[in-house]
Amino acid sequence: MTDDDITERARHDRLVAAWRDPPGLWGFLTTVDHKRIAARYIVTTMFLLFLAGMLALDMRLQLSAPDMHRMTPQLYDESFALHGSTMLFLVSVPVMEAMAIWLVPLMLGQRNLAFPRLAAFSYWLYLGGVLMLWIPHLLDVTPDLGWFEYPPLSGPAYSPGHRADVWAQMITFTEVAALAASVNIVATILKLRPPGMTLAKMPLFLWAMLVASLMTIFGLPAVMLATSMLISDRLVSTNFFSPAGGGDVLLFQHIWWFFGHPEVYIIFIPAVGFVSSIVETFSRRPIFGHAAMVLSMLAIGVLAFGLWVHHMFAVGLPRLGNDFYTAASLTIALPAGVQIFCWIATMVGGRPRLSVPMLWVAGFVVTFVIGGLSGVMTASAPLDLQLTDTYFVVAHFHYVLVGGAIFPLLGAFCYWFPKATGRLMSKRLGLVAFALIFGGFNLGFFPMHILGLWGMPRRIYTYGPEMGWGGLNLLATIGAAISVAGGIVFVIDAWRSFRRGAPAGTDPWGGSTLEWATASPPPPYNFDYTPAVDSLTPMWTSELIAYDGLGIDKRELLVTSVADAEPLYRQNSVGPSIWPLLASLGVAVLFVGSIFTPWAIVWGAIPVAIALTFWFWPTRDRATTGPFRKRTP
């Protein structure tokens, strides 16, 4: 019996049998389904977003009036350290990877990621990072020096105990996880594109995820280097950052910001992808200036690595050097400005329809552009000397990160929620949540620009009444509280819609890309047939062409060529496995142990090696080749 003879129903059943997870807890622990992995990533990040938001509200209450005593300085320092570290390392970066892990195979018409077990490993290791920060918090070993911990304050002389170690190893956990996820995403986008999706016909979302993942691969080793050197200083007295031992404290800052600046774009570029998808669908036309958008993302990806010094203008580097980095930092406003233009031009030249995701895009433009322009101000070395380390900068990076990444993320959540759950979200609650979050955020954070210009430094736990900062701080606290209320409405809406929202159908918005071709929620194997692509908006152009020939009784993926997406061969795809979990447990033992003794790196390597050996034990068949052909309906 050939595949053509069986009914669609039988085909579905056999595909499910090949791709489903084992039932129950074992299935939960061993799954390599990119959708399940992404879902737990997203749930974890959203929970942490809530915790970090509570910390923020707590700090806002402390600052709402002069000379408040509800928090001790130690508690305040722990709060901002925990808030910043959680938001940067445990929420913003992982949630973007999670969106990619969920969406990239769907947008490629594929059945899974290139390295399914690596995706599981990424999540477990990321979860290790979460526990690395929050379990010590329960044990009162909370990091207390902010999201970047400059030596010598974080060095052995001024930070005895294990607070700084906890922070540094949390970063090691999350960065290894992020590197694994990025390699996976890059390989998937470059090698698993559907036939016909040449690089020139690749949707902007995929470009965004490709650029962000490549940036992660280039940028994150730097931060691991910085924190590993810090740990070495603390553990075995290497003196990298200790002037008395011949080290240099600025070395840490250079390495840190070589990662730290690209980090912002690693968070922002995926948002470019979200916004492009939403704007395209709701403007009912392809994005204006596709090539310009791709080039500007690539330009940002390259430029981002050449302007880290603008975080260090006040350290006393040569002035001409500062001018160079000023110019480099200003340059990045050009590609960002191009992107903003292209999105709005798409609306102007299209047939725009208002919807909740589209509102988030509008809120994103209104907010993010302020953050971009205040970024232009801080990019100027002489002016930055007045602005850096004040509330102006606090306002600036919240406008960039919340306006530029969280707003698009919430829009993306609303946009793809029907695909992920098969149900529609409430339009009315969505509107209320948007109004509260958008309004509260701007009410809360705009005054911080002025506070910065009134001389309020960041990271102070209190201030005197004579400084005149009380009124605006109170306003900021009220705004933050309104925002949090909006967040609660958002969560309620998502939960209610998940339980009993109206059925969404396959394609509720009339989307342009391949993920809208499969059922909502997608079956474990994603697509019955391999779709083929002949334009940037395959769902709009013609009857979707599909290929047949991928296995239905075993897990197979279609590998295509990098540039032209010519079908090359069918690749066996691995099934569920417990080894990614066990391997990450081994790595966790190594990482946690190395806080206490350098020997942990030696004996900790043994369980890791054992786990990896079993993980890669060659039990699979070799890749097969066979008839792969255009499907005749």
Where in 136-165 is the site for other proteins (CB under 8 A)?
145-146, 150, 152-153, 158
Instruction: Note whether 585 binds other proteins by CB under 8 A.
Output: no
HSE toward the beta carbon, residue 562, CA cutoff 13 A: 3
Name the minimum Å distance from CB 240 to other proteins.
12
By CB under 8 A, the residues from 292 to 321 that bind other proteins are 292, 314-316, 319
Instruction: Note whether 353 binds other proteins by CB under 8 A.
Output: yes
Which helix H or strand E contains 530, and what residues bound it? Answer: strand 530-532
Name the minimum Å distance from CB 492 to other proteins.
23
Name the minimum Å distance from CB 397 to other proteins.
15
Q: Which of 27, 156, 455, 523 binds other proteins (CB under 8 A)?
A: 455
Q: Which of 358, 402, 425, 552 binds other proteins (CB under 8 A)?
A: 358
By CB under 8 A, the residues from 494 to 533 that bind other proteins are 507-510, 512
**DSSP string covering 131-161:** HHHHHHHHTT----S-SS--TTTTSTTT--S
Binding footprint of other proteins, residue count (CB under 8 A): 96
By CB under 8 A, the residues from 13 to 32 that bind other proteins are none
Instruction: Note whether 347 binds other proteins by CB under 8 A.
Output: yes
| Residue in 544, 540, 521 with CA at minimum distance from that of residue 423 | 521
Q: Which of 257, 463, 527, 591 binds other proteins (CB under 8 A)?
A: 463
Name the minimum Å distance from CB 344 to other proteins.
5
**Of residues 72 and 597, the one with the C-beta less far from other proteins:** 72
* Residue 532 CA, distance from chain mean position: 28
d(CA 83, CA 91): 10
- Asked whether the beta carbons of 236 and 279 are under 8 A apart, the reply is no
Name the minimum Å distance from CB 614 to other proteins.
46
**Of residues 221 and 352, the one with the C-beta less far from other proteins:** 352
**Of residues 307 and 592, the one with the C-beta less far from other proteins:** 307
- From 297-305, 402-410, 455-463, 590-598, span contacting other proteins (CB under 8 A): 455-463
Name the minimum Å distance from CB 271 to other proteins.
17
**Of residues 50 and 454, the one with the C-beta less far from other proteins:** 454
**Of residues 75 and 574, the one with the C-beta less far from other proteins:** 75
CB atoms within 10 A of CB 373: 12
Name the minimum Å distance from CB 456 to other proteins.
8
**Of residues 541 and 597, the one with the C-beta less far from other proteins:** 541
CB atoms within 10 A of CB 470: 17
**Of residues 372 and 604, the one with the C-beta less far from other proteins:** 372
Q: Which of 237, 541, 613, 624 binds other proteins (CB under 8 A)?
A: 541
**Of residues 44 and 281, the one with the C-beta less far from other proteins:** 281
Q: Which of 198, 239, 537, 561 binds other proteins (CB under 8 A)?
A: 537
- From 178-186, 192-200, 256-264, 347-355, span contacting other proteins (CB under 8 A): 347-355
By CB under 8 A, the residues from 319 to 338 that bind other proteins are 319, 322-323, 326-327, 330-331, 333-334, 337-338
Non-local CB neighbours of 310 within 8 Å, separated by 6+ positions:
261, 325, 326, 328, 329, 378, 379, 381, 384
Instruction: Note whether 49 binds other proteins by CB under 8 A.
Output: no
Instruction: Note whether 239 binds other proteins by CB under 8 A.
Output: no
Q: Which of 390, 442, 526, 584 binds other proteins (CB under 8 A)?
A: 390
Non-local CB neighbours of 617 within 8 Å, separated by 6+ positions:
none
Name the minimum Å distance from CB 153 to other proteins.
4
- Asked whether the beta carbons of 407 and 368 are under 8 A apart, the reply is yes
d(CA 162, CA 11): 56
Name the minimum Å distance from CB 467 to other proteins.
7
HEC letters along 97-139: HHHHHHHHHHHCCCCCCCCHHHHHHHHHHHHHHHHHHHHHHHC
Q: Which of 187, 190, 383, 585 binds other proteins (CB under 8 A)?
A: 383
Name the minimum Å distance from CB 101 to other proteins.
26
| Residue in 96, 171, 92, 161 with CA at minimum distance from that of residue 133 | 171
Q: Which of 259, 308, 469, 591 binds other proteins (CB under 8 A)?
A: 469
Instruction: Note whether 564 binds other proteins by CB under 8 A.
Output: no
Name the minimum Å distance from CB 62 to other proteins.
11
| Residue in 21, 160, 180 with CA at minimum distance from that of residue 97 | 180
Beta bridge pairs of residue 531 = 546
Which helix H or strand E contains 629, and what residues bound it? Answer: strand 629-630
d(CA 371, CA 623): 49
Q: Which of 467, 544, 585, 610 binds other proteins (CB under 8 A)?
A: 467
| Residue in 211, 207, 130, 201 with CA at minimum distance from that of residue 170 | 130
CB burial of 540-558 (b: ≥16 within 10 Å; e: otherwise) equals beeeebbbbbbbbebbbbb
**Of residues 74 and 624, the one with the C-beta less far from other proteins:** 74
- Residues 592-621: x/- map of binding to other proteins (CB under 8 A)? ------------------------------
**Of residues 42 and 202, the one with the C-beta less far from other proteins:** 202
d(CA 507, CA 424): 11
- Asked whether the beta carbons of 456 and 424 are under 8 A apart, the reply is no
- Asked whether the beta carbons of 207 and 297 are under 8 A apart, the reply is yes
Name the minimum Å distance from CB 401 to other proteins.
19
By CB under 8 A, the residues from 423 to 452 that bind other proteins are 450
By CB under 8 A, the residues from 243 to 272 that bind other proteins are 243-244, 248-250
Name the minimum Å distance from CB 376 to other proteins.
6
Tokens 């477990």 belong to which residue? 124
The one-character DSSP state at 623 is P
Q: Which of 33, 384, 528, 556 binds other proteins (CB under 8 A)?
A: 384
State the greatest distance between any 2 C-alpha atoms of the chain, in Å, as a whole number: 86
**Of residues 155 and 604, the one with the C-beta less far from other proteins:** 155
Tokens 């000397």 belong to which residue? 385
- Asked whether the beta carbons of 122 and 180 are under 8 A apart, the reply is yes
By CB under 8 A, the residues from 85 to 144 that bind other proteins are none
Length, in residues, of the chain: 633
Q: Which two tokens stand for residue 187?
A: 């390989």
